[in-house]
Structure 1
Amino acid sequence: MTPTHLPGRVAIPALPEQSRTAPPGGLGPFNAAPPREARAILLTCLHSARWAERVADHRPYPDLGALLAACDEAAYDLTPAELARALAAEGLPSLPEDVYAAAHTALSAAYAAYEAKFGHGFIICLDGLSGTESLDHVLAGIRSRLANDPEEERVLAAEELRRLAKGRLVGHLA
């Protein structure tokens, strides 16, 4: 799935597709977990109690594709207030330790400009990228997305949040 591209806007550079194959541990432990435990796992992926409850309550899932589709569906149903709370709970993307100081300074300024314009931190999924690619991806993403209007950016940030949640869940299941 490629990111949403809106007319006249560059969203973010495309990332490799997430694997739809079953994780090594399978879905069995997740499907069999008590509801409270499943919700706790899901809350580490996306900070929305309603999202976690909806995904957990629809278990068991026959395969990873069905689970990820349910994650998307539940995320699309978040209200603007729930989305705002989930975005506020996200931290900045972590970059490799060896990134030079000038890059950190530039990114700090860009993050501040983004937050001032949109009212939440910059969200971007870096799954499948190496450390050197991460920096380029973040810089390209924040530069292009600062040109968006608030509604366009809300749509893109929500898509990135969904991608982050699914990547985290796949990582947890592995």
Structure 2
Amino acid sequence: MSYPVKIIGRFSRDQKAMAAIEFAIIMPVLITIMLGGIQLVSYTNASRRVDLIVRSISEMISQAVPPSNSSTATVNAVDLHFAYDSALVTFPYVMTDAKSKGISWWQNIVINFASIKFTPTSGNCSASSDQSACNVASVVWTSTGLNSTNYRPCVVPQLPADDTSAPSSATLPRSDTSK
């Protein structure tokens, strides 16, 4: 007889019920730890996927070639459309969630793009630890996204905000070169 079978047999023959009480006390704790670990891994994977998408989009935009008659590169909606399509691969639950809501998958996710231009406030800015004091951030163009009312309007200058601040369409993370 194998060792696990002996343990199960001994557990079932125990008349004192101590093993059952220990099992009843420890099992909920172990299940809670296991489910918490699964949620932590899911959150970490989702955060990593969003970071990879943002990096891919920023690399694509930074490598855009300007037209021959301009020194400024342009990006259009066709160039950025892959971000919506990549949502299906990156977050496979988007389709299931959209189906349960009775909407199309592309209506279940909002992706906004904005181009920010930094204009120096003066030629000799001495605020080296906070470059946001030396530049004004203006939105050059913005996409409205699908089903979105929270986009960066072009007429509002972007204000510096701490990294711990809540996301806002009127703020950008503060530049801190002291770290």
Indicate whether the TM-score tops 0.5.
no
Which has more radius of gyration? 2
Between structures 1 and 2, the one with greater helix share = 1
Superposition TM-score, scaled by structure 1 size: 0.21
Between structures 1 and 2, the one with greater strand share = 2
Superposition TM-score, scaled by structure 2 size: 0.20
